[in-house]
Structure 1
Amino acid sequence: MILLSDPRVSGIPVRDCGEPLAEIAADPAVVLSHQERDPAGAYGRARTGVLRRLRSASRSLPDGIRFLVVEGHRGSAEQARRFARHEDRLRRSGITDPVELRRRTSAFVSPVEVAPHCAGAALDLTLIDADGTELDMGGAVNAHRTGDERSCPLDAPGLPDAARDHRRLLARALRGAGFVNYPTEWWHWSYGDRYWALISAAGSAMYGPV
């Protein structure tokens, strides 16, 4: 498993294509949650190319199923704050080796210099039915915050059959549109950032911090 702290990720060059951020809520096929709302509204934006691919992925979902986007773009200051907070939580749990601390922290919060959300390239999302009810995914988005780290990996063991099927549906739609998953978080998918470039062998990232 390649984590975002891996030097191979930071070693990917960025050739930003200059695409602007766009409003996620402008797409009627997608629902935007207010769970991670920030004062500037950054959470509700992503690069136009990312949203174009999200629309493509939406068209492959069964009738009555839609994406619920929890968070898109995230500012660098907020990313750094979340990284420091999670790092401190792990330090207080007894992890003191700096290398291991950084590695464990990056399993759930990216180092700011390579963060896909800061590039407008990442979406945290799940699935909802026609009534707006979230499908059973075997664990909540950002479940690591409440200590449920076991359910967070996309291929987490021991999931109920329904949750496993829903994760497969999510993955099939997003992968079909070109997204890559961060394997420690079933809800995190990105396109065009450094992690995407490494996993997809693209050679360089399309999107840098914005």
Structure 2
Amino acid sequence: MKPHYSIPIAECGEPLVPIPLEQFAWVSPHPYMALGATYGDRSPFFVRQTVLKRLRKAQYYLQKQRSGWRLQIFDVYRPLSVQQFMVDYTFQAVAAKAGLETTIMTEAKRQEVLEQVYEFWAAPLVDPATPPPHSTGAAIDLTLVNEIGKPVEMGSVIDELSSRSYPNYFANNVGMDDQRYHSHRELLCQSMEAAGFLRHPKEWWHFSYGDQLWAWLYRQANSDGLAEPAIAHYGQVEETARSI
């Protein structure tokens, strides 16, 4: 169980709203839908209302630093069914890369593969006390595009299951390319943090506001006890409710 799941949730009831994609860059076709994931009556580009306001603020900050640059939205809202689909897909991909046949895999080997998957993917738990971050509508995977709409080089692709995904992987490297990757990651982080988001400790592309992971990270950053302990404002979104 990941430590942020110990954070209590006080669901505020704020609705999911569609991201006005004309205001941002976005990945098309959506990567998970292209693999066969189905979202029902919501698209993956829905987010909590306050989170959208903060996303606009983050892009405003970015454009003050780099004129014409934009945030590129990769993925936001995921129903539990999509979270399960992607965990299963990633499990199969990791097993195949290792030359393992999933139908005859030992339990020990299965757990070994799952550990690799769950380092980066949240388990699709049905317990409302432990929702995957993206299933709350409060977490966003994103990157940057420059003034001509070209994706900015970050040193690894989103969802890469390797240590290169760690935010500070390139921080102490002296190569010019590596320093550029780190600089771009820091610009993304600074833009998002300026709007109140916090970054996932192991994923340079994952930011959230108001979910359990955000509250846990906030507490870690304010462990001196001077700030009031944060709680999560957003829990699991009801998948049967319509978003429009």
Bin the TM-score by the shorter chain: 0.7 to 0.9
Inter-partner Cα distance in structure 1 for 2:116 and 2:39: 29
> 5+ unaligned residues in a row in structure 1: which ranges?
none
Which of 129, 132, 139 aligns to 1:122? It is: 139
Distance in 1, Cα, partners of 2:197 & 2:50? 11
Amino acid at match of 1:45: F
Match of residue 193 from structure 1 = 211
Q: Tell me the residue number matched to 1:14.
A: 9
Q: Alignment RMSD, CA only?
A: 2.4
Deviations 1:96-123 (A, max 9, x none): 2777655432221101233110000111
Is the aligned partner of 1:153 residue 2:188?
Answer: no
Deviations, residues 49-104 of structure 1 (Å, cap 9, x unaligned): 11111111111112111100011100101102222333455567478277765543
Contact 1:25 1:32 in 2 (8 A): no
Match of residue 76 from structure 1: 80
Q: Deviations over 1:31-51 (max 9, x none)?
A: 222233455452111111111
Question: Where does structure 2 lack aligned partners over 5 or more consecutive residues?
Answer: 101-106, 126-130, 220-228, 238-244
Of 112, 117, 139 in structure 1, the residue corresponding to residue 124 of structure 2 is 112
Verify the 8 A CA contact 1:42 1:72 in the aligned structure 2: no
Q: TM-score normalised to the size of structure 2?
A: 0.73
Identical amino acids, percent of aligned pairs: 28
SS of the residue corresponding to residue 43 of structure 1 reads coil
Aligned-partner residue type, residue 85 of structure 1: Y
Would you say 1:177 and 2:160 are equivalent positions?
A: no
CA contact (8 A) 1:24 1:32 kept: no
Counterpart of 2:154 in structure 1 is: 137
Runs of 4+ in 1 over 6 A off after TM superposition: none
Q: Give the aligned partner of residue 31 of structure 1.
A: 25
Q: Is the alpha carbon distance of 1:32 and 1:166 closer, same or farther for their aligned partners in structure 2, counting shifts above 3 Å? A: same
For the residues of structure 2 that align with 1:104 and 1:90, how far apart are their CA atoms?
Answer: 8
Pair 177,45 (structure 1): closer, same or farther in 2 beyond 3 Å = same
Between structure 1 and structure 2, the one with the greater Rg is 2
In structure 2, distance between residues paired with 1:183 and 1:39: 27
Q: Contact (CA 8 Å) 1:123, 1:190: kept in 2 or not?
A: yes
User: Distance in 2 between the 1:79 and 1:9 partners?
Assistant: 18
Farther-moved stretch of structure 1 (41-50 vs 63-72) = 41-50
